[in-house]
Amino acid sequence: MTTRLIHISDVHFGVEDRGALAIVERAIAEEAPDALVCTGDLTQRAKHSEYEAAAKWFGSKSLPVVLDPGNHDMPYYNLWERFTDPYRRYRALKSKVGGVLQSSDVVLVPLKTTVRAQARFPWSDGVVTPAALEQTLRRLASLEGDARTKIVTAHHPLLGPAGARSNPTIGGDRAFAALAEAGAHAVISGHVHVPFDEMRSVNGQTMRMIGAGTLSTRLRHGAPPSFRYITCGPEGQIEAELCEVPLAS
């Protein structure tokens, strides 16, 4: 037996691609996956109306829904709320539609890569704080000896493109090496709106990085909307299949 996931990211309700979402809905109906995983940027500006649209869409799915917050999911116009309780709206959505994947093949471990503000602008790129990394490492440590495949879910890729001079995710190199050493087999993410699937190494630690594209109209670098099927068996068995959505002519 294996566990089959549909991995989506960067839906950006408010500027979502309804045609692409319909294709994901069809895939859920036809493939009957074990869970739907969305790695952040559920909304465009974290408006109440956008969260309501997200709740309606995710809430209509008859399978576990696993969510992570993205940088777009903190209030954009209400700075008071962003600085005092930036994840309030996200938490309300997760309490309505979020679920837990129960599987004998794979376990999903979240890593928060978003912060309410940072010492650079714009605040869109990732930051892995020591506290966030420690929380994820504690969860991985509790899984020592567990034969299931361990996948870390995050919004931002932990590393930049191969060959890039710098890493846009602050603390990403440290986090990548620590997670791989702690037994994680892969990290799945989004943010860049361009899919990728590659093995990377940092400080002698190797791990697979898998990224979904976007399901919004905010396309980048000529990449169409996309999502992934991820099929998992125990002991690090991972098969990832990219599904690109044809652009309307």
Whether residue 235 is contained in a domain is answered as yes
Residue 72's pLDDT is 98
> Which residue is it, tokens 């209509």?
60
Q: Assign 168 to helix, strand or coil.
A: coil
Q: Nearest 5 degrees, angle CA 87-CA 80-CA 193?
A: 45
Whether residue 216 is contained in a domain is answered as yes
Rounded average pLDDT over 137-149: 98
pLDDT tens by residue, 193-238: 999 999 999 999 999 999 999 999 999 999 999 999 999 999 999 9
Q: Which domain holds residue 72?
A: 3-244
Answer whether 70's CB lies under 8 Å from 41's CB. Answer: yes
Whether residue 249 is contained in a domain is answered as no
Q: Residue 32 above 80 pLDDT?
A: yes
Residue 50's pLDDT is 98
Answer whether 178's CB lies under 8 Å from 136's CB. Answer: no
CA distance 178 to 184: 9
The CATH number assigned to the domain holding 12 equals 3.60.21.10
- For residue 60 the two structure tokens come to 């209509």
pLDDT tens by residue, 177-200: 999 999 999 999 999 999 999 999
**Nearest 5°: phi and psi at 80?**
-60, -50
* Total number of domains in the chain: 1
